[in-house]
Amino acid sequence: MLTRNLHLYFLNVLRFILPLLIFFVLNSSKAQTFHLGVNSAYSASFLFNNSISTAAADTEYVFTGSPSFGITSSFYFDFGGYYHRKIYGIKLEAVFAKHNQNIRVFPGDGAPDPNVFYKYKVKLNLIDIPLLFTLCSTHHQGVAFEIGPQISFLQNVNVKLLESRVDKPAIPILTKSNFQNVSFSGVIGLGIFYSFSEKLALSSTIRGGYGFSDLTRNTNGDKKYFPTHRFWTGINIQFLYKFNKYDSKRNKGYKYYLKHSRRAG
* CA–CA distance, 259 with 261 (Å, rounded to integer): 6
Cβ-based neighbour number of residue 134 at 10 Å: 22
Task: Check: CB of residue 187 under 8 Å from CB of residue 232.
Answer: no
pLDDT tens digits for 161-206? Answer: 998 888 888 888 888 888 999 999 999 999 998 888 878 889 999 9
**Residue 250 predicted with pLDDT over 80:** no
pLDDT tens digits for 59-93? Answer: 888 889 999 999 998 887 655 444 455 667 889 99
Count of domains observed in the chain: 1
> How do strand 59-62 and strand 65-77 relate by DSSP bridges?
unpaired
Supply the DSSP symbol for 227: -
Cβ-based neighbour number of residue 34 at 10 Å: 17
pLDDT confidence tier of residue 19, bands split at 50, 70 and 90: low
- In the chain, pLDDT over 70 holds for what percent of residues? 71
Task: Check: CB of residue 148 under 8 Å from CB of residue 131.
Answer: yes
Task: Check: CB of residue 147 under 8 Å from CB of residue 133.
Answer: yes
Whole-number pLDDT of residue 138: 58
Task: Check: CB of residue 185 under 8 Å from CB of residue 228.
Answer: no
Task: Check: CB of residue 254 under 8 Å from CB of residue 140.
Answer: yes
Give the CA-trace dihedral at 211, 212, 217, 221, to 10 degrees: 140
Task: Check: CB of residue 180 under 8 Å from CB of residue 224.
Answer: no
Residue-wise burial string across 78-114, b where 16 or more C-beta atoms lie within 10 A, e elsewhere: eeeebeebebebbbbbbbebbbbbbbbbbbeeeebee
pLDDT tens digits for 115-164? Answer: 888 899 999 999 999 999 888 765 567 788 999 999 999 999 999 999 88
- Calculate the CA 196 to chain-centre distance: 25
Range of the domain at 169: 2-264
Whole-number pLDDT of residue 72: 92
Q: Looking at residues 9-20, what average pLDDT do you find?
A: 54
Q: On the CB side of 17, how many CA atoms lie within 13 Å of its CA? A: 20
Whole-number pLDDT of residue 15: 57
Q: Between 140 and 37, where is the model more confident?
A: 37
- Bin 127: left if φ > 0, else alpha if -120 < ψ < 50, else beta: beta
* CA–CA distance, 13 with 128 (Å, rounded to integer): 9
Whole-number pLDDT of residue 68: 95
